[in-house]
């Protein structure tokens, strides 16, 4: 495992959660031969029809052109690439807190 890359992936998710929500819960569990890390927040979330776009590079879901309210559209794309390069999987869904759920599964 490339430690710095995994740290960057997690930092991207957490920084998005801090920017777009007021509560984030991270849970980790081990199941069989994989570790599952779940990030749940209470922000606006990402509509199901936009989730595939959210992990494409340079796609900003935040509509304004103001750099203070949105990034370059690379965070989730880079995160997805890092997780995939480790043989893992990244899934976006609905959080029980009303916002976004990001689930990362990595082989151990």
Question: Average pLDDT of the chain?
Answer: 86
* Residue 68 buriedness (CB in 10 A; 0-12 / 13-18 / 19+): exposed
Helix, strand, coil % over all residues of the chain, rounded to 5: 35, 30, 40
Please tell me the predicted confidence (pLDDT) of residue 64: 43
pLDDT tens digits for range 9-62: 999 999 989 988 999 999 999 999 999 999 999 998 888 988 887 887 655 555
């Amino acid at each position: 495992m490339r430690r710095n890359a995994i740290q960057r992936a997690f930092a991207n998710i957490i920084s998005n959660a801090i920017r777009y929500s007021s509560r984030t819960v991270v849970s980790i569990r081990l199941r069989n031969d994989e570790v599952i890390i779940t990030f749940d927040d209470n922000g606006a979330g990402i509509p199901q029809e936009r989730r595939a776009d959210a992990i494409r590079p340079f796609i900003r879901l935040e509509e304004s052109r103001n750099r203070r309210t949105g990034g370059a559209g690379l965070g989730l794309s880079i995160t997805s690439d890092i997780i995939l390069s480790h043989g893992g999987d990244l899934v976006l869904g609905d959080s029980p807190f009303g916002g976004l759920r990001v689930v990362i599964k990595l082989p151990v």
